[in-house]
Structure 1
Amino acid sequence: MNRFYLLAASLVSLLGATRTLREGVAIGLCAVLTASLHQLLLTPLRKRLARWAYVLASLLLLAALLTCLQLGLRAWLLPLAITLGPYPLLLCLQCLAVDHLLPERGRWRLLATHLGAVFACCLLLGACRQWLANITDVHLANLAPGALLLLGLLVALYNRLRPGPAHPRRQGKL
């Protein structure tokens, strides 16, 4: 399994929180803010702590960041916090995956690319789900299984629009 499959799997926690474009923007901004702050605050600790202490510090930092995020949402944007539910707290899985999978060299550039892709996916999922639910009356789009189906269709469209040579292991043999 490629290490980037785990980063794609971290997108699954965002499927339930992107029913509308507004919710997609909110969860996308929460994901970008949480992951970037997590990496920024862990940078000085990365070489100074042992591996087990680093993992513990990462978990404690994530708990503090996401608690502050949840309290801030409840204090200033209560209706949005109620509609997002527990999904902002699930961003810790994405942050842990990002921290574990990013290489030492080119870490910030790859992190910026990943966070930009996550934000774009949140916007695209939110806009498509809102359009499908409100304009075309496909009520399955408001549910999490509808988001999973829509994500599969978007990935299929991306693969169709971006043709490339198949990996040598996946090519057929005569």
Structure 2
Amino acid sequence: MISKTNNFVIRLLDRAHLDTGKILNTYIAALIIIPLFFAGFVTYEASLTAQSLAAILTATPIIAVDMVMMIINFIFGYYLWLNKEKILADLPTYRFFMLYQAIGQVMAGNFICVLLAMGGLVRTNGINQKEQSNNKLIRGASVIFLLIFGLCLILTIWLSSKK
């Protein structure tokens, strides 16, 4: 069953002409564009309700938590945009990055990035598992952002249950 699903995903990626480089570029674009749309939505809501941004964030703290996650996504997307050649040059780093991003983006609820990260993992399926990632900065940033997303998820669940 897993083999059939894997083959289906590979055929889908082949038809879309998505290799590891194009997946990473699309992922970076999503990490940069989605937070901008979210910020535009919050700004639009503030103008419609004639409230300040601080009033909206105080009234609905879940939006504040989401804004923290979007800021992290934007910063990480910008960092990746500057260093995408380093990630693509080291496929174990790419695999590690995509695995941690898939987990983190599930916590953030950003399912477009989850699908892209899963596609990146499928594309690197043949890499030797024993190789370690050489880029410690990307590895550390991935782990830190995963922990922040976990904290934001816990905070979101706590705020939702508080109502």
Q: Does TM, scored on the shorter chain, surpass 0.5?
A: no
TM-score, normalization: structure 1? 0.29
TM-score, normalization: structure 2? 0.31
Q: Point out the structure with the larger helix share.
A: 2
Higher relative contact order (CA 8 A, sep 6+): 1
